[in-house]
Structure 1
């Protein structure tokens, strides 16, 4: 049963299930989800808790032994299993399948995993978890959903702001959800409940955005010139190597060009994405860009990227950051 971390409180209010799996790359949401599950379990009488961290050389027999024993003072307990790498290995994968097949009704099991790649999600142990457990996704909040998420968090502390201020907050906190959470808490400490003005928020909130090259490429593919320029400025301020920035955007430009060529030859867009092994989390971006752009633009962009590569290597003169900006603006809507 898949649910999001935002849906979890409503689910827990309707009763507990024996197995929960929290997975995703948003540490804040993952921690909150696991805390909520443990709190609900304690309230339901699960008074004992054992925690296991399955790292290298972990003895999987300990998990089985724990499930087969309850202390004299507890009728129900929580088994809290954390797999930081998301890779239990062959022995661990089989141990998880055996464990799930013999779960006790007096034990609530909570398994915490990072964001998993496609191959891990297709593994036998993960599909077994999906069949028997509640799968709580704790994925990072995408930029377009961030204002709504911030608004909901403000509502929890009985505060609100207008849409313009929500966008301002989202810009300042993009890519750094934990810092966003801290800034929202700061607003609760500084101001009373009710509507906050833009000026109050602006003066209180630091610029805590954490920029990365993949979000830059995402903004380029979406044709979002304003966001592309802002992230590029952030990367420059953080001292990101220009060769990495160019590599990230060039990879997506090349992939987009190959997709468009395949479609021009009469191929299916979905098949082209699969043949090129485009990651599932980026297929929508590439597909939307392929519908919007023409191949001649991609050719010119690749030529510009090649010139930019020479500039970075010192083989031609030019302002690298300005040329990176111009490259990204080619894709603007």
Structure 2
């Protein structure tokens, strides 16, 4: 098999009611909305063609991988075709999982599972993982759909394409404004596009109409704050903190997310300085994918000696949250948390 499709190509193919389904689809990417769209389209196409018995398994290196091959052998009471819907969020199957995926790929390549379609969702794999035997076997046996990342610069074009698909159009200035408003959040952009489709008829929509419909839709969570801190994006981190405060997010939860990451970084920095196994420590803490990349960039950016003071600063902010006074710190824990974020985002090795 060994086919390659992009996200749009897959959706176009599945819209053809008579198009035969491939035995295996690997959906790979980090853009959650687009991955969900691709998987939903596959599930719908499978249901339309009689693959009505669905088994869903979310797996990692510690899972019971015998359930995967077991699901292919189960006989349906009604003779229904089967959809085996697999997810490997970490992109790391472990040895048992890798062996199982290789076996599954071999069975599909040989046509041993004629009444089964398998879908597997993965994060974007790095070069080493792509060349692993289990990944190569899957790519050879199935159709690989690589879901693109839609970065801030590409977002206006993406919004424009989505609006065009529902018969609407915006000028370039309004597309850029709308992209700024959703802060690069693809799901928020998608929701606003749907809103415009409900509010206005097909055709060109004026900038004023869009501004009336689209309020401040940048929706944040504590993990957005963590990611901005790891990326060294000071202004974005402060904007997210301000947004979380305005949305009524609990300060202890925010401090937990920031402080936990700082403590992990302090351990990793000490381990790195001692020549220890940083990658192994990340695995033990279940750190994979984009978060792992963010941690590594932060370790490369921030001086090792800065982490002890950062850990103490996080501890002091916790005391402020509990109503205690800390000499030398501001009385407002929100403001002091902002200073802690600046400590991490602005810090550079000299």
The TM-score range, normalised by the shorter chain, is 0.5 to 0.7
Q: Give 1:320 deviation, angstroms.
A: 1.6
Instruction: After superposition, give the CA deviation of every residue in 1:30-64 in whole Å (9 maximum; x if it has no partner).
Output: 4431354467789xxx84333323479x8976744
Is 1:319 paired with 2:332?
yes
Q: Give 1:227 deviation, angstroms.
A: 1.9
| Aligned residue among 16, 32, 35 for 2:37 | 32
Alpha-carbon distance in 2 for matches of 1:206, 1:38 = 34
The answer for the alignment partner of 2:213 in structure 1 is 204
- Asked whether the equivalents of residues 51 and 82 of structure 2 are also in contact (C-alpha less than 8 Å), the reply is yes
**Structure 1 pair 48/204, CA: closer, same or farther in 2 (3 Å)?**
same
The answer for the alignment partner of 1:109 in structure 2 is 117
Is 1:216 paired with 2:233?
no
Q: Give 1:183 deviation, angstroms.
A: 1.6
Instruction: After superposition, give the CA deviation of every residue in 1:252-273 in whole Å (9 maximum; x if it has no partner).
Output: 33444455556666x5xxx864
Q: What value does the CA root-mean-square deviation take over the aligned residues?
A: 5.0
The answer for the alignment partner of 1:74 in structure 2 is none
The answer for the alignment partner of 1:233 in structure 2 is 242
| Aligned residue among 64, 81, 85 for 1:82 | 85
The answer for the alignment partner of 1:159 in structure 2 is 169
Which has the higher mean CA deviation after the structures are superposed, 126-135 or 79-88? 79-88
TM-score (norm 1): 0.68
The answer for the alignment partner of 2:315 in structure 1 is 306
- Asked whether the equivalents of residues 34 and 110 of structure 1 are also in contact (C-alpha less than 8 Å), the reply is no
Q: Which residues of 2 match residues 167-186 of structure 1 at below 5 A?
A: 168-169=178-179, 171-172=181-182, 177=187, 179-186=188-195
**Structure 1 pair 230/160, CA: closer, same or farther in 2 (3 Å)?**
same
Is 1:274 paired with 2:279?
yes
Alpha-carbon distance in 2 for matches of 1:197, 1:223 = 36
Q: Give 1:204 deviation, angstroms.
A: 0.8
Instruction: After superposition, give the CA deviation of every residue in 1:83-137 in whole Å (9 maximum; x if it has no partner).
Output: 579899x89x58956853653696561425586999x999998775444222435
Alpha-carbon distance in 2 for matches of 1:264, 1:86 = 30
- Gapped regions of structure 2 (runs ≥ 5): 58-63
Alpha-carbon distance in 2 for matches of 1:261, 1:298 = 9
Q: Give 1:216 deviation, angstroms.
A: 0.3
